[in-house]
Amino acid sequence: MLKRGLNIPQAHLARASTRTFRSDLIGTDVWRMHNKDDLAEARAQQEYSDIMPSTVKVAITGGAGAIGYSLLFRIASGELFGKRQRVQIRCLELPFAMDSMKGVAMEIQDCAFPLVDGVYCTDDPDRCFEDIDIALLVGSKPRGPGMERADLLKQNGAIFTGIGKSLNKFARPGVKVTVVGNPANTNCLIAANNAPDIPMENFSAMTRLDHDRGVGQLAKKMQCSVKDIDDFCIWGNHSPTMYPDVSRCTIQGRKALAAIGTKCGEGEDAQTWYTENFMPTVQQRGAAIINARGASSAASAGNACLMHARDWELGTSGKTTSMAVVSRGEYDIASGLFYSFPVRCADSEWSIVSGLDIDEFSRAKMKKTEDELKAERDAVKDYLPH
């Protein structure tokens, strides 16, 4: 087993003990180092002896797939939690893909990344998830020709039931779980409900790719930097029913639609561009990429997964992003669904942005995607423990 923690001078520990730390959450060492709190200062005293924070164990399912391949090398290079955080990478694949997975592991080893404390490959989820801090659930059953969505939901239901049970039994109790494999929201619902000993709030599904697609489209329209865009969000399901919301979004400090109006050509207005161009583009972007390159978006999905997990741990610095998290009835969304909300992350936790005014147009869009998630929940009810 890997050693955890450092021998920190007692004086520093005594001073640090007067503060309240979230020791129940995994990954807080990462957060502490990022924010340079008292325990981080204590560790810094040993920096010149080349001692670094304890290793974080990150599990990735579907590691040999296109998204996993795009993701793994960035984790190994330190892009997930920074250039001082060691990681152990644990990859889960199906038996027929194990040779490919071993080849990827060989490539990671050949890169000689200084932060990597080993790459472990297995087709056994119990062994993959043992004592992990972070789980990135990239792998899922893809939709085949002629397959109905209900069939896809049920086949993934069986897969994510097993994953949830393995996480519950072998992962650390504070493990943070990000579901990428589609249908992501409902796969997350199934896994979370089959892991009763892990807080429901420690599960999330990725809508960061949809969020980033929306921000990218707005920046393209306005010919500005993505850094100029604030308070955009995605509501609902990671599916064509998602609602990309610009009602509170600002671009270079101006209301989004007002700013967009200055870039509209003759015969075009901002609202029409938003509803007839922007929204369908974001909602159907995945299909458009498949049509263009003959394969699904992998690099952008891997990037979104990385940014989702990083922001969750290290924070969004007050900025709003999008994550599918468990609803507790916020904005009248059915409790228990994993629904994408505007969120902010701080202190290794997410929080839904509260107090937003929801207009009639937004309410209708939010309801439509909620209804789809309810239907998906009902379709997989046999996989949800009562």
Does residue 197 share a domain with residue 60? Answer: yes
Catalytic residue among 34, 238, 308, 386: 238
**13 located within any domain:** no
In angstroms, the Cα distances linking 76 to 89, 230, 248 are 8, 30, 37
3-state secondary structure of 178: strand
Does residue 302 share a domain with residue 193? Answer: no
Token couple for 348? 């290794």
What is the model's pLDDT at position 193? 98
Helix (H) or strand (E) holding 305: helix 299-314
**346 located within any domain:** yes
**Domain end call among 173, 205, 237:** 205
Does residue 241 share a domain with residue 101? Answer: no
CATH of the domain at 180: 3.40.50.720
Q: What is the mean pLDDT of residues 134-152?
A: 81
What is the model's pLDDT at position 16? 38
**4 located within any domain:** no
- 328 vs 31, residue with greater confidence: 328
**6 located within any domain:** no
**Domain end call among 154, 176, 205:** 205
Q: Are 196 and 171 in contact (CB under 8 A)?
A: no
**Domain end call among 147, 172, 205:** 205
What is the model's pLDDT at position 29? 60
What is the model's pLDDT at position 121? 97
pTM of the shown model: 0.86
Q: Is 238 labeled as catalytic in the residue annotation?
A: yes
**11 located within any domain:** no
What is the model's pLDDT at position 1? 32
Does residue 236 share a domain with residue 102? Answer: no
Neighbours of 200 (CB within 10 A): 16
Does residue 233 share a domain with residue 376? Answer: yes
What is the model's pLDDT at position 175? 97
Domain of residue 232 covers 208-382
Does residue 133 share a domain with residue 266? Answer: no
What is the model's pLDDT at position 265? 79
Does residue 98 share a domain with residue 213? Answer: no
Does residue 189 share a domain with residue 147? Answer: yes
Does residue 93 share a domain with residue 239? Answer: no
CATH of the domain at 366: 3.90.110.10
**253 located within any domain:** yes
Average model confidence (pLDDT) across the chain: 88
State the total domains in the chain. 2
In angstroms, how far is CA 11 from the centroid of its own chain?
38
Does residue 306 share a domain with residue 181? Answer: no
**Please, which pLDDT band fits residue 386 given cuts at 50, 70 and 90?**
confident
Whole-number Å distance between alpha carbons of 292 and 135 = 31
**9 located within any domain:** no
Of 80, 88, 131, give the one whose Cα is nearest residue 313.
Answer: 80
232: buried, middle or exposed (CB in 10 Å: 19+, 13-18, 0-12)? buried
Residue 97 has pLDDT above 50, yes or no: yes
Q: Are 270 and 257 in contact (CB under 8 A)?
A: yes
What is the model's pLDDT at position 290? 87
Does residue 200 share a domain with residue 212? Answer: no
Mean pLDDT lowest among 84-88, 243-247, 287-291, 329-333: 287-291
What is the model's pLDDT at position 35? 64
The percent of residues in the chain predicted with pLDDT above 90, rounded, is: 76
**17 located within any domain:** no
Token couple for 292? 């263009």
pLDDT digits (tens, 9 = 90+) for 246-290: 999 999 999 999 999 999 877 789 999 999 999 999 999 988 998
Does residue 162 share a domain with residue 90? Answer: yes
Q: What is the mean pLDDT of residues 119-146?
A: 91
Whole-number Å distance between alpha carbons of 201 and 198 = 8
